[in-house]
Structure 1
Amino acid sequence: MPHAARYIGLMSGTSVDGVDGVLLRFDGPGEHAPLELLGSASVPMPQSLRAQWLELQHAGDNELHRAALAANALSRLYAEVVARLLESSGCSAEDIMAIGAHGQTVRHQPGAHDGIGYTLQLQNPALLAELTGVTVVADFRSRDVAAGGQGAPLVPRFHRALFGQSRSALAVLNLGGMANLSAWTAPEGALIGFDCGPANVLMDAWCQQHTGAPYDAQGSWARLGRVHAGLLASMKSDPYFDAPPPKSTGRDRFNRAWLQHHLERAGAGVTPVDVQATLLELTAQTCAEACRRHAPHAEALVVCGGGACNDRLMERLGHLLAPMPVRSSAEHGLPPQWVEAAAFAWLARQTIEGRPGNDPRVTGARGPRILGAIYPR
């Protein structure tokens, strides 16, 4: 296996707003090999396809048919991102060792129902391999679930490989649709990681409903509102926030129906802009509390994901965690919008090279597992 190799990572997350892709070069052996970002690309999720994904979050007529066609459509979108990465970098399909493709999560219920449960990320990796001529690694989460784990989050091991080369004890907060925290005490020290709760998923949905914008850019709308104490207290009373790790979550729990329930409990008089401010404060407080409780020795918090571009959210995190520095991952070598896609390029490399991608201390699995299914070029 060559020590210098190129991998592509593709991510379409809980926000269902688009597909992010990166092309990475890894230099050297092992999971801590230095990496170089050779290219990045993003394409928006077509509104019709986004609507299909949101509908597939719930039971409905002809689900299997609709899911299969949505998976095909997503794989074509993935192939478009791959084509852009190859064109912009001057690479060919033969130059790429593998693509790590996450798929679109539509259900996440580990440990439920029969004691094993499931997590379901839809895509058609065989079609993606046909369209790109590149080996595809997909279905990363199900092996961890089969081993008794949550199947999520899978990024903490990558976070330590990427950001843990210094002697500093760091925490990393990914603010995508959901928020997840990773932390360690030293480069090879004990690793923790779990989903904190909602990050952008509720804020984005509320903003789109009331302003027409897909998200609250820089948190400028939330900045105009006032936090509603009753609504905040009601939302924070959800037992998920105090549950010990390992734990993971998604739209199965934190969705519009969940928000509506808490709005009804809070009573009348909550204006839309105040709801937005309160949702932002929910994310800030639950993430800060998770960091203080589970990563008390962290010397700094590194933030990635789309939420790192929300100035108001970053301000609140900085205030709540002071004097701990709160910094964007861009200050540590990788822009925040590309970190999660890079994680799946790294996970694909782990799979191809026969190394575990999970950490049982994070997911609760019975042990380390090589993750994913391989679809050769």
Structure 2
Amino acid sequence: MQRFIGLMSGTSLDGIDAALVSFDEQGTPHLEASYGEAMPEELRSILWRLCHQDAVAFADIALAEEGFCQCQAKAVMALLEQQHLSADDITAIGSHGQTIEHAPYGHAGGPSYTLQLDNPSRLAELTGCAVVADFRRRDLAAGGQAAPLAPIFHEAVFRHPHHWRLVLNLGGFANLTLLPPLGNQRAPLGFDTGPANALLDAWHERHNGGAFDADGRWASSGQVNDTLLMHMLNDPFFRLPPPRSTGRELFHLGWVEQHLQGNEPPEDVQATLAELTAASIAEGVEMARERLDAPSTMELVPCGGGARNSDLLRRLMARLPNTTLLDADVLGWPADWLEAACFAWLARQRLLEQPGNLPSVTGAAGPRVLGGIYAR
């Protein structure tokens, strides 16, 4: 049996998720344990500034990188201690890094790029484990979007013999994976549908403090502004065909403010942002269904932080009446830890020199082995 640790830090910048994943002799992954390391507020502030500046000093990057690696190492060591394991018990760490900017369409006519802050050499030194990192840029080099990467993992753990399934990641941004039944020759399809928690968290923090709107309670207290919703949904991104991906470079508070008259009650804006997430996902589901000629009746597996937001799920299910909601936890992969587990799985794929992307999802020229290896 081999064990890998996957590390994930999302666009919320709230902490490091660490997932311990074991693989049996048949190569089937199993989630053994998980651990969350909160992001120190000072580090979160530094990373937030890096994500929203056009020019930064090298010293600031080095400071953020060191702090981030220290936080990652704390998560790894705490998880090992929790499970009474040592670094020698771990085949490798799969580190996603912290996305600072994702620009698959380039910027001002320049080349496409994606930047994940990370220092796998330093992480290997701090933990005594081999590290696999820099997963996204090989797909980008092959003409892909470098995102989303999770669909190939969704295919490995959620594809059903008979049922069509939608796996929906509700992180800072929402991405979906449409999985045909096993035996169906059509390749899975996946893409980013648009914002999820990123705008909801930012608007909540501006008006109420606190990092997020717990269970969507503030959003549920407001009324959807239909005119505002229509204007937001008119953004050209929502009409792009897959492959497509996005991030804070497009959807941020400045983008929200461009659509406001200035007299909207803040809770109504929050309700409208929640409805924007649900509406854009529903449009994405319909786009995916038409492309794969899938039935309207499907199973939906929500994951990520938004899977715990009952207000958001209520809005979504109202727009997808023919779907059956499945609990990822019941399927053996708790919603909060699925992305971290994905990077443990991708690390193993790299060591086996097996593909870590789905060209049908990212648009890359073909399957590619993703990531670089940094020895223990």
Task: Give the alignment's TM-score, normalised by structure 2.
Answer: 0.95
Q: Counterpart in 2 of 1:153?
A: 148
| % identical equivalent positions | 49
SS at match of 1:103: strand
Q: Distance in 2 between matches of 1:246 and 1:208?
A: 32
Q: 2:31–2:332: 8 Å Cα contact kept in structure 1?
A: no
Please point out which of 89, 96, 104 is paired with 1:95: 89
How many pairs align? 368
The question of whether the paired residues in 2 share the 8 Å contact of 1:38 and 1:89 is answered with no
1:110–1:118 Cα contact (<8 Å) kept: yes
Q: In 2, Cα distance between the equivalents of 1:61 and 1:147?
A: 27
d(CA) in 2 for partners of 1:130, 1:270? 51
**Alignment pair present for 1:360 and 2:359:** yes
**How many angstroms apart in 2 are the aligned matches of 1:98 and 1:187?**
30
Structure 2 residue aligned with 1:192, among 180, 189, 192?
A: 189
- Distance in 2 of aligned mates of 1:328 and 1:261: 37
Corresponding residue of 2:208: 211
Distance 1:62 1:141 in 2: 22
Given the alignment of the two structures, is residue 28 of structure 1 paired with residue 25 of structure 2, yes or no?
yes
Residue 234 (structure 2) aligns with: 237
Residues 207 and 266 of structure 2 are in contact (CA less than 8 Å); yes or no, is this contact kept in structure 1?
Answer: yes
Is the Cα contact below 8 Å between 1:143 and 1:372 reproduced in 2? yes
Aligned mate of 1:183, from 148, 170, 178: 178
Aligned to 1:71: 65
Distance 2:259 2:331 in 1: 38
Q: Which residue of 2 aligns with 1:291?
A: 285
Partner SS, residue 56 of structure 1: helix
Who is 1:84 aligned against? 78
1:164-189 per-position Cα deviation (integer Å, ceiling 9, x unaligned):
14432111000000000101212354
Matches of 2:228 and 2:274, distance apart in 1 = 12
2:29 touches 2:345 (CA, 8 Å); kept in 1?
no
TM-score, normalization: structure 1?
0.94
- Structure 2 contact 165–179 (Cα < 8 Å) conserved: yes
1:360 Cα deviation from its structure 2 partner: 0.9
Please give the alpha-carbon distance, in whole angstroms, between the structure 2 residues aligned to 1:233 and 1:205: 21
Q: Is 2:139 aligned against 1:144?
A: yes
Q: Please give the alpha-carbon distance, in whole angstroms, between the structure 2 residues aligned to 1:279 and 1:61.
A: 29
Amino acid at match of 1:24: V
Per-residue CA shift, 1:298-348, capped at 9, x if unaligned?
Answer: 621110000000010111111111131123312322111000000100110
CA RMSD after TM alignment: 1.4
Answer whether contact 1:86 1:93 (CA < 8 A) is retained. Answer: yes
Structure 1 counterpart of 2:106, which letter? A
Aligned-pair CA distance for 1:72: 1.1
CA distance in 2 between counterparts of 1:346 and 1:176 reads: 19
Read off the aligned partner of 1:347 and give its amino acid letter: L
Residue 134 (str. 1) matches residue 129 (str. 2): yes
Task: Look up the equivalent residue of 1:158 and give its one-letter code.
Answer: F
